[in-house]
Amino acid sequence: MVRAIVGANWGDEGKGKITDMLAEDSDIIIRFQGGSNAGHTIINDYGKFALHLLPSGVFYNHTTSVIGNGVALNIPYLIKELESLTSRNVPMPKILVSDRAQILMPYHILLDAYEEERLGGKSFGSTKSGIAPFYSDKYAKIGFQVNELFDEEGLKDKVYSVVETKNVLIEHLYHKEKLDPEEIYQTLLEYRDMIKPFVCDTSVYLHQALKENKRILLEGQLGSLKDPDFGIYPMVTSSPTLASYGAIGAGIPGYEIKDVITVVKAYSSAVGAGEFVSEIFGEEADELRKRGGDGGEFGATTGRPRRMGWFDAVASRYGCRVQGATEVALTVLDVLGYLDELPVCIGYEIDGEVTRDFPTTHLLKKAKPVYTTLPGWKCDIRGITKYEDLPENCRKYIEFIEKELEVPITMVSNGPGRHEIIKRK
């Protein structure tokens, strides 16, 4: 049985917490896309952790964590992240890395930074983790799969050939210091020794696990609106963020994904540039940012202040649809207890017409939010464990959102901790 946990919005919906919680009853947790460019914040008995590359199941003894072939594998980063856990008394997790995962090269990080610098004010607001150059190379067929590290001769030839093309850009477009292919080759040999204990054919492993009816979780990064096809292109990430891609990025059949738990945030937040129709500014935004998430809304990877907004039903319904959501986990609802009333964006006005359908980017740029307002509940809902015990106005807010999403809300998260969850069905 495979379940996917994915985001309906711009990321930072609280997927890490939901994954950490569901990992308790799972055997295998898989990362299937992205790299170290986004992070999950997890609070559990060991403390507070920001994970970037490791799946959120690493805190349990009984789970196996898989880095699938779809991931941008930053090897030294992964090793550092593992050390950051073990140095804080988390037992060494069981990690398997796909032999088909591609390696994030040192020059991907450099090229990401050089390109952002070149674009100046027109930049994508990249986290400079090398993700866009990495996926560009993967599809241009000049990337390096992990298994290539174990063929020294082939590796060396390929490094020299790829570096030659990279150096043309570095010298003539970016005017920076050229790469030394020998140095990169030696670095890759170091990477090989670091990653060797974890490498296997994870697709074979998962095939067997499926036969044995193991409980498998696919953990998505970012959200629907950052998907390269269905998101706010070009202000998107460079690998698919949708549950369906989980099959490819993990190496399992698509029909095995039976449940798509889509995480929806009770208000909106986004990091980086791009269209955001229900964005709010000034004091109103500062107040929500300060109260949001766990100790304020700042990016888990970059520390950047997140952009804030009211709940956007148009974007979230679309976000659920493109994920193929079977159920919704509504998160960070506790944060909204201070408001007298809660605006909810229920339509976009574009060229004088109101639509409920999320449009393509050039129309999105013209969209103005159409709001309705719901009454606030004016109290702290943390600690409540039963749905019926939530204040009436809070339940009304949830039920309003559920109707807008057209997907059942089965879980309501009312605090950052592992067990701060209200199950509905």
Active site residues: 12, 40
At 231, list the tokens: 């998101």
DSSP H or E run through 158: helix 152-172
The residue among 235 and 335 lying less far from ligand GDP, judged by its C-beta, is: 335
- Cα gap 96→198, rounded to integer Å: 5
- Cα gap 271→264, rounded to integer Å: 16
> Smallest gap, in angstroms, from Cβ of residue 297 to ligand GDP?
8
Binders of ligand GDP among 318-337, rule CB under 6 A? Answer: 331-332, 334-335
At 273, list the tokens: 């540039």
> Smallest gap, in angstroms, from Cβ of residue 18 to ligand GDP?
8
Q: Which amino acid is at 395?
A: R
- Cα gap 402→400, rounded to integer Å: 5
| Bridge partners (DSSP) listed for residue 257 | 2
> Smallest gap, in angstroms, from Cβ of residue 271 to ligand GDP?
9
Is residue 234 reached through a cis peptide bond, with omega within 30 degrees of 0 on the bond before it? yes
> Smallest gap, in angstroms, from Cβ of residue 238 to ligand GDP?
17
Crossing angle of helices 152-172/106-119, nearest 10°?
A: 10
Cα 51 to Cα 19, 84, 183, 261, 403: the distances in Å are 12, 10, 29, 20, 33
Find the part of the chain contacting ligand GDP (CB under 6 A) among 8-16, 23-31, 105-113, 370-378. Answer: 8-16
40 forms part of the interface with ligand GDP (CB under 6 A): yes
181 forms part of the interface with ligand GDP (CB under 6 A): no
The residue among 176 and 395 lying less far from ligand GDP, judged by its C-beta, is: 395
* φ and ψ of 344, to 5 deg: -130, 130
> Smallest gap, in angstroms, from Cβ of residue 289 to ligand GDP?
12
Find the part of the chain contacting ligand GDP (CB under 6 A) among 93-101, 125-133, 344-352, 413-421. Answer: 413-421
Binders of ligand GDP among 370-409, rule CB under 6 A? Answer: none
- CB contact set of 25 (below 8 Å; sequence gap of 6+): 215
* Strand, coil or helix: 183: helix
Length of the chain: 425
> Smallest gap, in angstroms, from Cβ of residue 119 to ligand GDP?
25
- Answer for which of 242, 300, 308, 339 binds ligand GDP (CB under 6 A) is 300
294 forms part of the interface with ligand GDP (CB under 6 A): yes
Contacts with ligand GDP by CB under 6 A: the residue count is 24
Binders of ligand GDP among 115-144, rule CB under 6 A? Answer: none
Number of H helices, E strands in the chain: 12, 21
Find the part of the chain contacting ligand GDP (CB under 6 A) among 58-66, 92-100, 403-411, 414-422. Answer: 414-422
31 forms part of the interface with ligand GDP (CB under 6 A): no
Binding site for ligand GDP (CB under 6 A): 7, 11-17, 38-41, 43, 293-294, 300, 331-332, 334-335, 413-416
